[in-house]
Amino acid sequence: MRDRNVNADAIAAMLPLLPATFHILVALADEDRHGYAIIQDVAARTDGSIRLSPGTLYRSIQRMLEDGLIVETDERPAPEDDDERRRYYHLTALGTAVAKAEAARLMDLVRMARARGLAPR
Partner 1 sequence: MYRWLLRLYPASFRNEYGREMAAVFARERRDTRTAPGMAALWLRVIADTCVNAAAIHWDILMQDLRYTLRTLRRTPAFAVTAVTVVTLGIGATTAAFSLADFVLIRPLPFLEADRLVRVSEERPGLPRMELAPANYRDLKQMAASFEALGAYRGLSVNLVGARQPLRLQGAAMTADVLAALAVRPMIGRPFAAADDVDGAPATALVSYALWQEEFGGDPSIVGRPVRLDGEAYTVIGVMPPDFNFPSRGAQLWTAMRFVPADFVDRNHNYLQGIARLRRDVSVDAARTEMSMLAGRLQQQYPKENEQTGVSVIRLRDGVSPQSRTLLVALLGAAVCVLLIACANLTNLLLARAIVRRREMAVRMALGAGRERVLRQLLTESLVVTGTGGVLGLALAAATLPILSRLVPTALPIADTPAMDLRVVGFAIALTMVTGVAFGIVPLLQHHRDRAGEGLREGARSGGSGREGMRSALVVAEITASVVLLVMCGLLLRALWTIQAIDPGFRLEHTLTARTSLPMPKYETLGARTGFYDRVLSEIRALPGVSSAAYISFLPLGDMRGGIFPVGISGRVESRREDNVAFLRYVTPGFFQTLGIPLLQGRDVRDADRLDRQPVAIVSASFVAQFFPGQEALGRRFDFAAATREIVGVVADVKIRELTGVSEPQVYIPHRQLPDRTYEWFAPKDLAVRATGDPLALVSAVRAIVQRADAEVPLSDIQTLEQLVDGDLASRVTQVRVLGAFAGVALVLGGIGIHGLLAFAVSARVREIGIRMTLGARRADVVAMIAKRSLSLSAVGVGAGIVLAYVSGRWLQSLLVGVSPADGTTFAVAAALAAATAIAGSLRPALRAARVDPVTVIRLE
Binding segment toward partner 1, per CB under 8 A, in 4-12, 25-33, 55-63, 101-109: 55-63
Say if residue 6 is exposed, middle or buried (CB neighbours under 10 Å; 0-12, 13-18, 19+).
middle
**In the complex with partner 1, which residue's Cβ is closer, 45 or 100?**
45
In the complex, least distance from residue 48 CB atom to partner 1, rounded to whole angstroms: 12
Q: Please give the distance of CA 12 from its chain centroid, rounded to a whole number.
A: 16
Q: Does 85 bind partner 1 (CB under 8 A)?
A: yes
**In the complex with partner 1, which residue's Cβ is closer, 63 or 105?**
63
Bin 101: left if φ > 0, else alpha if -120 < ψ < 50, else beta: alpha
Residues 14-43 that bind partner 1 (CB under 8 A): 34-36, 39
